[in-house]
Amino acid sequence: MTSKTICIAQEGPANALALNKDNSQVVIAGRNVFKIFILLEDKFEEACNLRVGKNLNLNFSCNDVAWNLNDDHILATAATNGAVVVWNLNKQSRSKQEHVFIDHKRTVNKVSFHMTEPMWLISGSQDGTMKCFDLRIKEAIKTFYSNTESVRDVQFCPQQPHTFAAVSENGQVQQWDMRKPDRFFQHFTAHSGPIFACDWHPEATWLATASRDKTIKVWDLSGKPSCDYAIHTIASVGRIKWRPQKKYHIASCALVVDCSINVWDIRRPYIPFASFNEHKDVPTGVAWRGNPQSFLSTSRDCTLYHHIFDDAIRPASKANPQSVALGLKSEIIYACKVKYEPATTARQLSSIMRKPLVTNDDTFCMASSVMHKFTLNNCQPSWFKIAAEGYLLSGNLNDICDHNARVAISFGKTTLGIAWQVLKIMYGDPLELLLKMSPMAPKEDIVNTSNIISGATKNSGMEQSNASKQSSHEHDTKSLQGENPTGAVSGGDDETETETDAPENPNITGPSTNLATVLPRRPLLSDVPSTSRGDFIFGETEYEPVSLEHPSESRHIVMRMEDDEWTKELQKEAFPLRHEIKDRSPPPEQFPNHPTELGEDPTSVIIEDQPQLVVPLLPKPLLFDFTSVILEALEYHAAVRDVQTTVSMLIALGEKRKNLMLPIALQEHWILEYLDLLGKFKLWHIATQIIQLAWIPSISQLNQQSTLIHVSCAACTKQLQRSAWLCDHCHTSEHALCSICNQVVRGMYVWCQGCAHGGHINHMREWFNGNRQCPAGCGHLCEYN
């Protein structure tokens, strides 16, 4: 008994193979090969080459071969020339050819021995007949006319030895009784294409048929033929063989395309139970070695294989048994294979019922999936959608930030709300800030904070006393205030103007205390404003921008203020903030640049003076970089996959985003991703809004694509090429006639979408001033507006 898959190559492909009755030898037969091998433990040993002799005629070219079921020395072959040849291995001569039956007119496709009468041989031929030969009297004893083009396979029924089944190329299965050679006793159409093979089940009354229609069908012929199982394979099926001792298993090989030999469990007709992929070309024959664990196969690749079932590939084990998908609405769909390890209840049941345990083979065909949908039961509307629809994207930055912060906080996204508020503080209009601030904040807070800050920082300002700081602070605010009014007048963008103005209007001030409070408080906007400790804590980070140590910074502040169209009262505090923002974008680099700016501005000088005052007040170094903060914020939100916030902030920043020096490609990336998400939620209006607000050409062009409307002629339905009023194809302008003046409309053609009539816009307008019905008289009540 061989225990491993072995292979031997031949000089030509074999068309068929057959095993002797004790499965110890195999014969392979083809056009150019006809050999017998002894099956040894780990190799094939050639026992006999039958293709010898001086006259190698077509009788040696075999379509099929059969080994006598009783006599080990008798073989029969079906030759391509229509001969049925009997071989006697016991012949002394070199040529073992014993007898040639030349009865068929065309190729013989199949020879098959009778189960119980070993001297009976039946053949099926391309000429549409089957002939039964008796080897003893060396002649065809019976001829069966199938009335079909050709018989592809013929096989005696193991249960009723006097009957046999024949399949033919017209898709018919016929059942014949040997005793009634004049007519089949049963026939039915089994397939829509030629049937290439059939095989009787060794035990059941099943006949399996294989067809070019890529199916294998199993017919129960105990009564009226019924198709009990159908296997859909991937290619035309050329050969089939039931697997011994496995009731539901059948091996198949394809005629084309598929080089593998598949063993199917007919109860699971979709995926092979086992697959053997050793052959490099399509297999031509399969023969089980009498047991379910090994079989032999020949192939067009000239090899003969001995397969061991354990070496099979199990396609089902590689098949993915599960799937999971996440929907947009926190919905999860999950499908998984039903496990058949019986659950405890089932186990109890089976123990009660004494059911046998299912075997491995059986679990194979118990393949089914359950699919479940998991939904969040507290189904909240998606925050993404709310934010997308709720966020304000254009308008005053302050309003945007306020609004968006409100939207975020009302949904419980406090941090997001704070982020928006911080954005407002950094870039927003200080006037509103001021108004919102409670004017009551105690001065002490400020002092405290400034103290602490100064303590923490390394600057020279540290040495100064609290009082001095405070005074300096006030000073600072005053000077800033002075500038504000002009800034407000001039409007945001003109920095130079405001700066120049500033010196001229020094005296417009709000209460210095108020301003002072505002300053420290800014950071706290989002917070509860009451406690000084809180102020400090929050202040630390947010003060930084406020503290003005360097002259350059203070200048920047002023400039910023102008940018943002400050209102007069707010100026002091707001100014510092804004200034910084502007500078921020290129904090380190801009420093060198500043001198030039300053030089241009007469005011710059004045501002430079101020810094000195400021320094004592808030001695922090120039950490003021809003840009870096903003950049970080934008990138942070992108990194946590909140591209919505990133893009919304970017858009809200308006022109100020230029200072961020963000690569355009990155901005584009963010916006595209956000647009994609909006698309998923069908928020087209938001997407369109963003596209319209976009400053990147590749994005703003997005809704200009595919806006071309093609029109076709109403008469000939050909597309209008050159003009809208003349069809190049049928040379009419009928489709372009005005319903009122009956002239061709060469300009704008207005038409009713309801009835498709229309004409010159002037005529239509006139008409519908006095009428409601269509001018063409079609009776349609057109709507013109």
Which CB atom, from 379 or from 440, has the smaller least distance to other proteins?
A: 379
Interface with other proteins by CB under 8 A: which range of 14-22, 104-112, 667-675, 713-721? Answer: 667-675
* CA distances for 573 relative to 466, 603, 705, angstroms: 19, 18, 47
Q: What is the smallest separation between the CB atom of 541 and other proteins, expressed in angstroms?
A: 17
Interface with other proteins by CB under 8 A: which range of 40-48, 202-210, 341-349, 557-565? Answer: 341-349
Q: What is the smallest separation between the CB atom of 647 and other proteins, expressed in angstroms?
A: 8
Question: Among 180, 458, 658, 669, which residue interacts with other proteins (rule: CB under 8 A)?
Answer: 669
Quick one: three-class SS letters along 411-474?
Answer: CCCHHHHHHHHHHHHHHCCHHHHHHHCCCCCCHHHHHHHHHHHHHHCCCHHHHCCHHHHHHHHH
Interface with other proteins by CB under 8 A: which range of 298-306, 487-495, 573-581, 637-645? Answer: 637-645
Q: How many whole angstroms separate alpha carbon 138 and alpha carbon 148?
A: 26
**Is residue 502 a contact partner of residue 486, using CB atoms and an 8 Å limit?**
yes
**Is residue 218 a contact partner of residue 211, using CB atoms and an 8 Å limit?**
no
* CA distances for 77 relative to 98, 358, 377, 451, angstroms: 11, 44, 72, 110
Q: How many whole angstroms separate alpha carbon 152 and alpha carbon 138?
A: 23
Question: Among 320, 359, 360, 769, which residue interacts with other proteins (rule: CB under 8 A)?
Answer: 320
| Using rule CB under 8 A, residue 456 touches other proteins | no
Q: What is the smallest separation between the CB atom of 720 and other proteins, expressed in angstroms?
A: 19
Encoded one letter per residue, x for contact with other proteins by CB under 8 A and - for no contact, window 687-706 reads --------------------
Closest CA to 65 of 14, 102, 116, 111: 111
Q: How many whole angstroms separate alpha carbon 45 and alpha carbon 577?
A: 96
**Is residue 669 a contact partner of residue 694, using CB atoms and an 8 Å limit?**
no
Closest CA to 237 of 268, 221, 265, 213: 213
Q: Would you list the DSSP string of 727-745?
A: -TTT---GGGB-TTT-SBP
Q: What is the smallest separation between the CB atom of 259 and other proteins, expressed in angstroms?
A: 9
Question: Among 106, 668, 693, 762, which residue interacts with other proteins (rule: CB under 8 A)?
Answer: 668
Residues in 594-623 that interact with other proteins by CB under 8 A: none
Q: Which two tokens stand for residue 523?
A: 């950071």
Question: Among 7, 69, 193, 334, which residue interacts with other proteins (rule: CB under 8 A)?
Answer: 334
Which CB atom, from 126 or from 215, has the smaller least distance to other proteins?
A: 215
Which CB atom, from 121 or from 393, has the smaller least distance to other proteins?
A: 393
| Using rule CB under 8 A, residue 136 touches other proteins | no
Residues in 254-313 that interact with other proteins by CB under 8 A: 257, 268, 270-271
Q: What is the smallest separation between the CB atom of 211 and other proteins, expressed in angstroms?
A: 13
Residues in 396-455 that interact with other proteins by CB under 8 A: none
| Dihedral-angle region of residue 397 (phi above 0 means left; psi in -120 to 50 means alpha; beta otherwise) | alpha
The residue written with tokens 């923490």 in the block is: 456
Q: What residue spans of 491-531 are helical by DSSP H?
A: 495-504, 512-521
Which CB atom, from 370 or from 741, has the smaller least distance to other proteins?
A: 370
Question: Among 40, 640, 711, 756, which residue interacts with other proteins (rule: CB under 8 A)?
Answer: 640
**Judged by CB under 8 A, how many residues of this single chain contact other proteins?**
75
**Is residue 306 a contact partner of residue 5, using CB atoms and an 8 Å limit?**
yes
Q: What is the smallest separation between the CB atom of 355 and other proteins, expressed in angstroms?
A: 9
| Using rule CB under 8 A, residue 56 touches other proteins | no
Residues in 363-392 that interact with other proteins by CB under 8 A: 365-377, 384
Question: Among 1, 40, 58, 343, which residue interacts with other proteins (rule: CB under 8 A)?
Answer: 343
Q: How many whole angstroms separate alpha carbon 75 and alpha carbon 34?
A: 11
Q: How many whole angstroms separate alpha carbon 763 and alpha carbon 766?
A: 5
| Using rule CB under 8 A, residue 670 touches other proteins | yes
Question: Among 53, 315, 503, 534, which residue interacts with other proteins (rule: CB under 8 A)?
Answer: 315
**Is residue 553 a contact partner of residue 624, using CB atoms and an 8 Å limit?**
yes
Q: What is the dihedral of CA 717, 720, 726, 731, to 10 degrees?
A: -50
| Using rule CB under 8 A, residue 677 touches other proteins | yes
Burial state string for 375-385 with b = 16 or more CB within 10 A and e = fewer than 16: eeeeeeeebbb
| Using rule CB under 8 A, residue 319 touches other proteins | yes
Q: What is the smallest separation between the CB atom of 306 and other proteins, expressed in angstroms?
A: 24
| Using rule CB under 8 A, residue 62 touches other proteins | no
Q: What is the smallest separation between the CB atom of 234 and other proteins, expressed in angstroms?
A: 4
| Using rule CB under 8 A, residue 58 touches other proteins | no
Closest CA to 621 of 446, 423, 456: 456
Residues in 200-229 that interact with other proteins by CB under 8 A: 214
Q: What is the smallest separation between the CB atom of 270 and other proteins, expressed in angstroms?
A: 4
Closest CA to 313 of 283, 277, 361, 363: 277
Residues in 514-553 that interact with other proteins by CB under 8 A: none
Q: What is the smallest separation between the CB atom of 169 and other proteins, expressed in angstroms?
A: 21
Identify the H or E element spanning 133.
strand 129-134
Q: What is the smallest separation between the CB atom of 123 and other proteins, expressed in angstroms?
A: 33
Question: Among 40, 102, 256, 328, which residue interacts with other proteins (rule: CB under 8 A)?
Answer: 328
Question: Among 43, 232, 685, 731, which residue interacts with other proteins (rule: CB under 8 A)?
Answer: 232
Interface with other proteins by CB under 8 A: which range of 167-175, 392-400, 603-611, 671-679? Answer: 671-679
| Using rule CB under 8 A, residue 661 touches other proteins | no
| Using rule CB under 8 A, residue 326 touches other proteins | yes
Residues in 488-517 that interact with other proteins by CB under 8 A: none
Q: What is the smallest separation between the CB atom of 119 and other proteins, expressed in angstroms?
A: 43
* CA distances for 50 relative to 64, 77, 112, 319, 495, angstroms: 14, 11, 19, 45, 106
* Overall size of the chain counted in residues: 785
Could you give the 3-state DSSP secondary structure of residue 664?
helix
